Chains A and B, each alone.
Chain A
Amino acid sequence: MELPPKLSAKFEKLQTSYPAKRSALIPMLMYAQDEFGYISDAMIAEIARRLDLNNVQVEETLAYYSMLHRKPMGKYHVQVCTNVACMLKGGYEILERAKKRLEIGHKETTQDGVFSLEEVECIGACTGAPAMQVNYDFYENLTPLKFDRIIEELDAGKRPQPEPVTSGALHDRNVLETPLISRRWGMKDSHKLDVYVMQGGYKALEKALKEMTPESIIEEVKRSNLRGRGGAGFPAGMKWSFVPKDSPKARYVICNADESEPGTCKDRPLMEMDPHQLIEGMVIAGRAINSHQGFIYIRGEYRYVLDIVDAAIAEAYGAGYLGKNILGTGFDFDLLIHTGAGAYECGEESALMESLEGKRGYPRIKPPFPAVVGLYGGPTIINNVETLSAVPSIIREGGETYANRGTPKNGGTRMLCVSGHVRKPGIYEVPLGMNMKKFIYEVAGGIADGKKLKAVIPGGSSCPLLTADEIDIPMDYDSLAKAGSMLGSGGMVVMDEDTCMVDMGRRIMHFYAHESCGWCIPCREGTTWLRKMLERFHAGLGREEDIDLIAELAKNMLGRTFCPLGDAAAMPTISIMKKWRGEFEDHLKGRCAYKSAGALVGAR
């Protein structure tokens, strides 16, 4: 197949960028689709040929990722998010508007081929909900009117100005905030190397390389009580110390930038406004485990962020912070940013590694854990963007100082993205252990429109929900666990008294059924069954026995699935069934008692 010269050059570069050729598969598919609007049979054959794969290996991989299409999409692919944060702020109204305005349905294309429409899962714009993407451009804080204007401009061949940065990231600082890793946000050109260096950037790297040993770096991180910010909260220093010292295989550092937990949009501004902080953290992590290659796995939707980070990586190479003999210390470290293609499951560390190796994002059997057998079979540490972004501060100010910013065992600060029915949705950096009620009412401005609080998702839609009575607790990993929930990924979604919890349960399950990889039976079949049942129930076709059945099915998934996705689907459902059972009973009367957005869709 004859390729445009630019794409061909891109392919050639990708083919030689990875330790294993196949790793280039997903980026190649994404860039090919950018060029042609879809992946054709000829393109599959071409990529298979270039990567020494069978056609079916290419086909099965691309079929897994929701951003990759086998049929031509419109010139403008309109992707409207209706996931929880957007739903609460009118996401379904935007979707309905889009259907009417464009006269097409979900995954359809207009006859002239200009527009196509897709209802998508959380795109990481929760603090700017409701939001959508047109191709890779983000449009946030939408109203039906604003939507119409965007479509009109596109129709006229213009590109409406996308959001300059993640909505909600920049705001007047609240006195309760303690900006550390977000302190450069809002500075002019904060993503550029000279600004970063002027602000004291790469000093921690110099210290780590020149004054510290790998062991002392790990010790410092252990002292900081830094716990994984992706959701599980595993102590980062301990994770690093699991890497065997004498492995003959190459070791890797991976940054998990596949931010896709519904309600979470903190990694996006961390990368777009301070990419060098992340790069510095990764080189230090590389030094700590004696690795010479890092990867940033970024979700496919964040293409503009990828470009920003890629430019920062180039700058860092130019200035000698990456590459051979960094800062004259003899330490080598290469870094590559790699695009995903639409799969929540690839946020699971082992599925991410499969995906990075160019395969379907199926999780791996554990043990062995990645620290022992990870990417390409080599010892690998994988950490969230926020975790790695905290590393320079820890090295610079010392682990203990960092730890003291939080509470015992929960060191440092935490990025929280609060969305839903609060007056000031946004991304805030606060000390770990801040009281949740205080945070919602004093930092996030309380509940909008003078309404009462009904429920809180504390850290992404995988967490059990809390009632208004349960939120007077410190926000740290252990207190949340004690309250029967999780601190999770920092994606807090707040619901007011008019929210239909049946609809909420339905929308949460819709997401997990869409994102289940299909590997294991309980998750694959359980999420789908629950989705169908909750849709039917919410549409007014519920039966009394369904209430117990929903709860029981969720329990049947819990703890029995291959990876945590099944638990993530089960836990919020179990909590909703337990805490708002009354609302389910109300639905048996035939209709939703609330004017919830989801009611517009009915049973689908």
Chain B
Amino acid sequence: MPDQRLIKLKINDRELQVPQGTLVIEATRRIGTEVPSFCYYPGLSLQAACRMCLVEVEKAPKLQTACTLVATDGMVVRTDTEQVRQARKAMLELLLTNHPLDCPVCDKGGECELQDMTYRYGADFSRFVEEKIHRPEEKWSELVYYDAPRCILCFRCVRVCDEGMDVKALGVGLRGANSVIIPNRADHLECEECGMCIDICPVGALTSGTYRYKTRPWEMQYVPTVCAHCSNGCKTTLSVRNHEILRANNRDLSGINKDFLCVKGRFGFDFTTNKERIRQPLLRQGDQLFPVSWEQAAEAAATKLKAAYDSGGKDSIGFIGSNRTSNEENYLLQRLARATFGTNNIDHHRTADYAGLITALGERAADSLLTMEQLYQSKAVLVIGNDPTNQNPLVAWQIRSAIRHFGTRLFLINANEIKLKRKARQFVKIAAGQEPAVLKWLAHEEGQLAPELVEQLVQLKAALEAESDVAIVFGAEVSGAAIAALVAFGSKLPGQTRYMALGDYANSRGASDMGLLPDRLPGYARVDDAKARESFEQLWGCVLSSKPGLTVPQMVEAARSGQLKVLYVVGANPLAHFAKPDSGRGKLDLLVVQDMFLTETAKAADIVLPAASAYEKDGTVTNTSGEIQLLRRAADVMGPRTDCDLLRILSHQLEKQGLGKALPYKTPGELFSEIRKAVPAYNVPLAGLLTGGAEVTRAQVARNGHAPYDVPAGLIRSANDTLFTSGTLSRWCTMMESVPEAHS
């Protein structure tokens, strides 16, 4: 990283100051002067291969590459002389000798860097009359195609695969003008299929199996939103034509992930148009579900819910929310459960103990939770449990980038030899489930551990104590009391210590924050805290129960035993993840499900309401590090409604039946305004959020009265997803499922 001492240089007669160590190409960008380049790519190693960035430097005998030249005090640079212009023109002429001019049928046409540069700096005629080198196009995987003649050999793809992804699936074959990029399995790829190589390609040499020959770039609209899969909250820009998503990428490098996306973010959008998508409400008649009108379905749901409420009482009904739906929808669902039905039987599939972490940190929470950017800038990282490469790809990317750019030290405690081990200073191998014992030892040097393990932990402790800034990242293996031990250990470290809990799905953190918890109100206030209750009672005009409700496993068990009569499920699949085999829906009188697909739970339902996906709605989501981002509606699918709409419709029908009041919000925006008031952490600056940025929630324990929190073993449960899965949803991602790696 350039240090902060400033130096002065002159570029095209303009004086400017830049930090020492700044490359000339970066300095020119600061003053809005373009120095063209193909091979230069911020964050990747320097190449100086394309020679497009040649500039004149006073006192230098020949033109210099701005991408490798470090600015020095008093340097005089010119980027606009005749010599420089001539050099650029010559480079482009040379590049085009073997590059086919098949732009009209090339996917990249219209957004091709070579096209743009030729337009701006190139010649308007060609002097090349020799034969071009030709090679047939190669299909490397269902998702990646390579067209060698188009390749300009900038080696961005090779570098991003090696340096960025640590996959090393690409290499360079042959040499000279015959050089080509080669995949790791002779004629095909075996890799993470992230598609980083495709997006980083400045020309149409690497194309996407899902997008190729579909459309022209100018025929699409571009909608920035948040990836619907894991909890890391990568920004993804959806390219949409006629309401259909054709592509996902992040070429403008905006968002917390810059240009990073994994296979799910880049290719996992086609579930939206999957044929199995539910398009109409379904109602059970006997053994089968039949399509019915919206009126019929909504009325049936309200009538049956009212009847069950009247006969079984408020705690005979349970609600299971989603870790994918928006914050607004989650907030709405728990309000419906708590205010309309008066029950705290509301929970979601918990994959990280966010409440436990925030509680253990107490007053320090606001300043001790890591953002993705802070993780990247940490000087040392300790990862306990989890497999970030597979389960949290952005977290793994941030860690790898930190190691590459700043020499960050990585330490691992894990029961498995996860891939990040290759980059780690120290890897402490433990037995599965031993995390709490190890943390207890680290915190208090208590407990019986094997001497070899103790020796390693002593070494680890010494290494961490020597650091000034430690990021601690942990998975579902660490929850409840183990988090308290972890925080106790972290607090003893001499430097700054910050934490990140790793959950599984797109809005796991938001579900927790919004109070999809049987004992916590939005913002983690306890339900038995009268003062906290009172503020929500005033807000919602109702009386809230002080009795903690059932957790998801308890609800599923209560359904089996018959204690629970009604289960209302939104975007979750508890029968697949929590029910015992063959117990099915148990003795439920009524099962209502809002979902996109006929999941195991939806198949067992009495009423199924087709729900819109995250790519078809507006709202906000919160990633695992507590950063809120906007969801923007990109696609439009006939039939389904957003969960927000579904809950509002239901509340109107319930009001008609004499139960509760219709929910007053008309738009997700109105809901978000209320959330900002009710949950202080969500009172984030709007300007950044509305312009596509991520805003950090600053957890405020005092406001909502946190208290020690212990979760029963097994309640926090990771789905242990791979790179190619995200719980139930990925089953319907055809493109992702098409690569063999998804099934290995």
Identify the A interface with B (CB < 8 A): 41, 54-57, 59-60, 63-64, 343, 360, 365, 513-522, 524-529, 532-533, 536, 545, 549, 556, 559-562
A521 to B47, CA, bound (A): 12
A517 to B173, CA, bound (A): 11
Q: A63-B173, A522-B90, A556-B87 are in contact. List 13 more A-B contacts (CB 8 A).
A: A56-B182, A57-B168, A60-B182, A360-B172, A518-B176, A518-B178, A520-B48, A524-B179, A527-B177, A529-B97, A529-B128, A532-B131, A545-B127
Is B29 on the interface with A (CB-CB < 8 A)? no
- A528 lies within 8 A of B176 (CB): yes
The residue on A at minimum CB distance from B54 is A560
- A516 lies within 8 A of B175 (CB): yes
What are the interface flags for B138-175 relative to A under an 8 Å C-beta threshold, 1 for contact and 0 otherwise?
Answer: 00000000000000110000000000000011111111
- A56 lies within 8 A of B183 (CB): yes
* Smallest CB separation, A159 vs chain B (Å): 32
- A525 lies within 8 A of B94 (CB): yes
What are the interface flags for B83-100 relative to A under an 8 Å C-beta threshold, 1 for contact and 0 otherwise?
Answer: 000010011011101100
* Smallest CB separation, B97 vs chain A (Å): 5
Q: Give the residue among A513, A529, A533, A545 with the most B Cβ atoms within 10 A.
A: A529
- A521 lies within 8 A of B176 (CB): no
Q: Knowing A522-B51, A549-B127 are in contact, say whether A527-B176 is a contact too (CB < 8 A).
A: yes
- A56 lies within 8 A of B175 (CB): no
* Smallest CB separation, A347 vs chain B (Å): 15
Would you call the interface of chain A mostly helix, strand, loop, or mixed? helix
By a CB distance below 8 angstroms, the chain B residues around A63 are: 172-175, 182
Q: Knowing A56-B183, A525-B98 are in contact, say whether A559-B176 is a contact too (CB < 8 A).
A: no
* Smallest CB separation, A205 vs chain B (Å): 40
- B46 lies within 8 A of A365 (CB): yes
By a CB distance below 8 angstroms, the chain B residues around A533 are: 130
The residue on B at minimum CB distance from A525 is B94
Q: Knowing A524-B153, A561-B51 are in contact, say whether A60-B173 is a contact too (CB < 8 A).
A: yes
- B54 lies within 8 A of A521 (CB): no
Is B62 on the interface with A (CB-CB < 8 A)? yes
- A54 lies within 8 A of B168 (CB): yes
- A524 lies within 8 A of B127 (CB): no
Docked complex: B165-199 residues within 8 A CB-CB of A = 168-179, 182-186
Docked complex: B9-63 residues within 8 A CB-CB of A = 46-52, 54, 62-63
Docked complex: B68-107 residues within 8 A CB-CB of A = 68, 87, 90-91, 93-95, 97-98
By a CB distance below 8 angstroms, the chain A residues around B68 are: 365
- B172 lies within 8 A of A60 (CB): yes
The residue on A at minimum CB distance from B93 is A556
10 contacts between A and B (CB under 8 A): A59-B171, A365-B48, A519-B49, A521-B51, A521-B95, A525-B94, A525-B97, A528-B177, A556-B94, A560-B51
Q: Knowing A59-B182, A533-B130 are in contact, say whether A518-B62 is a contact too (CB < 8 A).
A: no
* Number of chain B residues close to chain A: CB under 8 A: 42
Q: Knowing A60-B172, A360-B172, A526-B94 are in contact, say whether A520-B179 is a contact too (CB < 8 A).
A: no
By a CB distance below 8 angstroms, the chain B residues around A529 are: 94, 97, 128, 130
* Smallest CB separation, B178 vs chain A (Å): 7
The residue on A at minimum CB distance from B154 is A521
By a CB distance below 8 angstroms, the chain A residues around B128 are: 529
By a CB distance below 8 angstroms, the chain A residues around B62 are: 559-560
- A525 lies within 8 A of B95 (CB): yes
* Smallest CB separation, B200 vs chain A (Å): 18
The residue on B at minimum CB distance from A543 is B129
By a CB distance below 8 angstroms, the chain A residues around B87 are: 556, 560
By a CB distance below 8 angstroms, the chain A residues around B183 are: 56
- A521 lies within 8 A of B127 (CB): no
Please tell me which one of the listed residues A54, A343, A559 contacts residue B184 in the complex, with CB atoms under 8 A apart: A54
Please tell me which one of the listed residues B97, B127, B175, B184 contacts residue A518 in the complex, with CB atoms under 8 A apart: B175
By a CB distance below 8 angstroms, the chain A residues around B173 are: 59-60, 63
Please tell me which one of the listed residues A64, A365, A562 contacts residue B51 in the complex, with CB atoms under 8 A apart: A562
- A517 lies within 8 A of B168 (CB): no
By a CB distance below 8 angstroms, the chain A residues around B176 are: 513-518, 524, 527-528
Please tell me which one of the listed residues B46, B51, B127, B175 contacts residue A360 in the complex, with CB atoms under 8 A apart: B175
Q: Give the residue among B91, B98, B131, B176 with the most A Cβ atoms within 10 A.
A: B176
* Smallest CB separation, B185 vs chain A (Å): 8
- B152 lies within 8 A of A521 (CB): yes
* Smallest CB separation, B636 vs chain A (Å): 43
- B49 lies within 8 A of A562 (CB): yes
* Smallest CB separation, B48 vs chain A (Å): 5
By a CB distance below 8 angstroms, the chain B residues around A365 are: 46-48, 68
Closest 5 CB pairs of A and B: A60-B171, A518-B179, A525-B94, A532-B130, A528-B177
- B94 lies within 8 A of A57 (CB): no
* Smallest CB separation, B88 vs chain A (Å): 10
A520 to B91, CA, bound (A): 10
By a CB distance below 8 angstroms, the chain A residues around B131 are: 532
* Smallest CB separation, B726 vs chain A (Å): 28
A421 to B182, CA, bound (A): 45
By a CB distance below 8 angstroms, the chain A residues around B168 are: 54, 56-57
By a CB distance below 8 angstroms, the chain A residues around B184 are: 54-56
By a CB distance below 8 angstroms, the chain B residues around A343 are: 175
Q: Give the residue among B91, B127, B177 with the most A Cβ atoms within 10 A.
A: B177
- B97 lies within 8 A of A528 (CB): yes
By a CB distance below 8 angstroms, the chain A residues around B54 are: 560
By a CB distance below 8 angstroms, the chain A residues around B48 are: 365, 520, 562
The residue on A at minimum CB distance from B63 is A560
By a CB distance below 8 angstroms, the chain A residues around B152 are: 521
By a CB distance below 8 angstroms, the chain B residues around A527 are: 176-177
- A518 lies within 8 A of B130 (CB): no
By a CB distance below 8 angstroms, the chain A residues around B171 are: 56-57, 59-60
A519 to B185, CA, bound (A): 23
* Smallest CB separation, B421 vs chain A (Å): 14
A526 to B127, CA, bound (A): 13
The residue on A at minimum CB distance from B184 is A56
The residue on B at minimum CB distance from A517 is B175
A301 to B467, CA, bound (A): 52
A18 to B144, CA, bound (A): 38
A556 to B684, CA, bound (A): 56
By a CB distance below 8 angstroms, the chain A residues around B93 are: 556
- A41 lies within 8 A of B186 (CB): yes
A559 to B62, CA, bound (A): 6
- B175 lies within 8 A of A521 (CB): no
- B177 lies within 8 A of A524 (CB): yes
The residue on A at minimum CB distance from B67 is A365
By a CB distance below 8 angstroms, the chain A residues around B50 are: 520-521
By a CB distance below 8 angstroms, the chain B residues around A532 are: 130-131
- A56 lies within 8 A of B169 (CB): yes
* Smallest CB separation, B108 vs chain A (Å): 18
The residue on B at minimum CB distance from A54 is B168
Q: Give the residue among A54, A517, A525 with the most B Cβ atoms within 10 A.
A: A525
By a CB distance below 8 angstroms, the chain B residues around A56 are: 168-171, 182-184
A515 to B91, CA, bound (A): 20
- A521 lies within 8 A of B49 (CB): yes
- A518 lies within 8 A of B177 (CB): yes
By a CB distance below 8 angstroms, the chain A residues around B185 are: 55
A516 to B153, CA, bound (A): 14
- B153 lies within 8 A of A518 (CB): yes
A533 to B131, CA, bound (A): 10
By a CB distance below 8 angstroms, the chain A residues around B169 are: 54, 56
By a CB distance below 8 angstroms, the chain B residues around A525 are: 94-95, 97-98, 177
* Smallest CB separation, B414 vs chain A (Å): 21
By a CB distance below 8 angstroms, the chain B residues around A524 are: 153, 176-177, 179
A388 to B701, CA, bound (A): 73
By a CB distance below 8 angstroms, the chain A residues around B170 are: 56
The residue on B at minimum CB distance from A53 is B168
The residue on A at minimum CB distance from B127 is A549
* Smallest CB separation, A43 vs chain B (Å): 14
* Smallest CB separation, A83 vs chain B (Å): 16
- A536 lies within 8 A of B91 (CB): no
By a CB distance below 8 angstroms, the chain B residues around A54 are: 168-169, 184
